[in-house]
């Protein structure tokens, strides 16, 4: 029989170990300190408690909140990096460099589409700008989360061989 915490204090005490483990796991990939990520999730929990009460499944809510905060941190860091410096400065990226970068991206996407099996879908999911988690990708592709790492390695190996052949042919 599960006992649901009655007070906000009991909820916080019961979730503290799980939050510490989840933020430690996600912080490195988001470029933030675990304590900062933890503080942001506690704030989200307090906001939720204030507006609509405790979540029905607190551990699941906490895991999703940690991932959402990590993604938000990554997006914010990318935006801030893009906004630094003089807006008129192209960062040494004139029209020629921008055209070459676009051509490289097109070549990569073309090569990804030519990969065998499930690789095109997996690589497109990994290259997605919405930055899905492994759990989300596994759900979209209908495969187990544990199979993603080995599948990704196999697909990257195929992509590397394909691109190496194209570069050598030129």
Final residue of a domain: which of 83, 104, 129? Answer: 83
* Domain shared by 74 and 99, yes or no: no
CATH code of the domain containing 138: 1.10.10
56 found inside a domain: yes
Instruction: Determine what percent of the chain is predicted with pLDDT higher than 70.
Output: 85
Domains of the chain: total? 2
Higher pLDDT, 77 or 146: 146
**96 to each of 104, 105, 110, 164, how far by Cα in Å?**
12, 14, 21, 24
* Domain shared by 44 and 110, yes or no: no
* Domain shared by 109 and 157, yes or no: yes
73 found inside a domain: yes
Domain extent at residue 117: 95-163
- pLDDT tens per residue across span 49-90: 888 888 999 999 999 999 998 888 888 777 766 555 544 555
Final residue of a domain: which of 83, 114, 129? Answer: 83
pLDDT at position 51, please? Answer: 85
**108 to each of 64, 104, 105, 114, 156, how far by Cα in Å?**
31, 6, 5, 10, 12
State yes or no: pLDDT of 26 exceeds 70. yes
170 found inside a domain: no
State yes or no: pLDDT of 169 exceeds 70. no
Please tell me the pTM assigned to this model.
Answer: 0.47
Final residue of a domain: which of 31, 62, 83? Answer: 83
Q: And the tokens for 45?
A: 């929990």
Confidence label for 16 from pLDDT (cuts 50, 70 and 90): very high
């Amino acid at each position: 029989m599960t006992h649901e915490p009655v007070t906000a204090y009991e909820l916080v005490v019961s979730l503290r170990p799980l939050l510490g483990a989840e933020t430690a796991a996600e912080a490195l990939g988001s470029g933030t300190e675990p304590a900062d990520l933890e503080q942001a999730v506690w704030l989200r929990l307090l906001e939720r408690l204030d507006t609509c009460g405790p979540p029905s499944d607190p551990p699941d809510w906490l895991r999703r909140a940690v991932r959402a905060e990590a993604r938000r941190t990554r997006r914010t860091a990318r935006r801030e990096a893009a906004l630094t410096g003089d807006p008129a400065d192209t960062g040494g990226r004139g029209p020629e460099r921008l055209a070459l970068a676009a051509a490289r991206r097109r070549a990569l996407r073309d090569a990804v589409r030519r990969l065998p099996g499930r690789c095109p879908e997996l690589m497109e999911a990994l290259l997605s700008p919405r930055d899905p988690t492994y759990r989300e990708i596994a759900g979209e592709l209908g495969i187990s989360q544990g199979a993603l790492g080995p599948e990704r390695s196999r697909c990257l190996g195929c992509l590397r061989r394909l691109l190496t052949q194209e570069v050598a042919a030129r």
